[in-house]
Amino acid sequence: MRIRFGILGTANIARKAVIPAIQNAQGAEVVSVASGSGRAREFAAEMGIEHYHDSYEAMLDDESIDAVYIPLPNTLHKKWTIAAAQKGKHVLCEKPAALTARDAMQMVQACEDNGVIFMEAFMYQFHPQHEIVREVIASGEIGDVKHMRANFSFYIGDKPNNIRLNSELGGGSIWDVGCYCIHSSRIIIGSEPLKVYAQASIPKEVGVDLSAAGIFTFANGVTASFDCSFERQMSNSYEILGTKGSIQVPFAYRPDAPGAGGFVRIKNSEGNVREETAEGEQYTLMVEHFTHCVENKQTPSYSGEATVNNLKVIEACYESIDKNQPVELV
C-alpha cells in the first residue's frame, strides 16, 4: 500500500525538503499539488508531480488523495487542517501547527472526530542521533540530568518580505526556530516546564522577535535554557549536563546542512570524550513514520497532545516577554 499525498501550497520547504522526502520514502508518493496563486501547474512540472489543482478545495475533493502535507503560512494551518480532516484526509502539518494551543486542540479534535491521523512536522526528532542521546541518558552514563541548553539561529539578512518577519502570518524567531529548542528540551527531559522566563529583541519597525532567549524550570530542580535568532550565523545544537558528564549534539536540528552531520559527543567527569555517529535522512524518516501510522491506524510517536503542550510553552514564552516576568504553567 502506498499513501498518496497532496501538497497544499508551493512553499520552499515543500520544494526543497518534504516533497523529495515523500518521493524517496517507502510507502508514499506525491500525486498532486494545489495552489491558489496560479503556480500549481508550473510547480507540478518542476517537481515531477503528475497532477495539480488550482485551489485547495479542489485538492481536498480529490478522492485519489489519502493525505495532505500543509506548508502554508502559520496562520492558515488551522483552517486547512480542519478542512482536510472533514474531507477524510490525513494531515502532516508544518510546524508550528498553530499559533495558540487552543487552535491546535481544535485541529487535533477535528482529526480525531473524522478518523484521520494528524502529525506536526518536527522532522529533526526522527534523526537517529537523538535515539543515541536517549540511550546514553537511560544508561546513567552522565548521571542525573540537571540542565539542558539549546540554540538555533541563522542570519536572515535584509529580506523585508520574508514571511518569517511578518507578524500577521506568525513570524518571529521563536515561532520559526526557537520552537525546535523548546520542543527538544521537553522531549529530552521528558516532562513539561513548570515556569518560563523569556526575553526578546523586537524592533518596532519589524514587529517580531529577531532574537530571543529563555529559561525553563522543570520538576525536581531540572532547568533548560534556549536562545534563537535571525541575527546570527547558523548554529543548531543542544547540550545536556548531568551529575557525571555531558552530551553534546552539534547539529541537532539540521544535520543535513552543508558541512554538518549526525553525531553525538559524550564527555564524562574525568574529561574523557567519545563520539558516536548516526546517519539518516530525517525528512524521509518523518514521512515513513507518518505513513506507517496511517497504514496501521496508530497514533504517531509525536502525538497531537504533545503538539498542544509544545504550543502552551511557546505561548508562555511570548506572555513572559510581553509582561517582562516569569510565567507559570499549570
- Dump pLDDT digits (tens) for 115-169: 999 999 999 999 999 999 999 999 999 999 999 999 999 999 887 789 999 999 9
**Torsion sign (Cα): 155, 161, 164, 165:** positive
Q: Tell me, what's the pLDDT at 117?
A: 98
Closest CA to 14 of 2, 24, 25, 22: 22
Which parts of the chain have pLDDT scores under 50? none
How far is the C-alpha of 21 from the C-alpha of 7, rounded, in Å? Answer: 13
Domain contains 301: no
Output the nine-digit C-alpha cell for 178: 526557537
Same domain, 156 and 110: no
Q: Are residues 174 and 97 in the same domain?
A: no
- What is the pTM (predicted TM-score) of this model? 0.96
Could you list the residue range(s) of the whole structural domain that residue 270 is in?
A: 125-283+312-328
85 falls within a domain: yes
Backbone angles phi, psi at 229, to 5 degrees: -165, 150
| pLDDT one-digit tens code per residue, 178-191 | 999 999 999 999 99
User: 109 with 134, same domain?
Assistant: no
d(CA 125, CA 119): 13
Residues 248 and 135 in one domain: yes
Nearest partner of 87 among 54, 107, 116, judged by Cα? 116
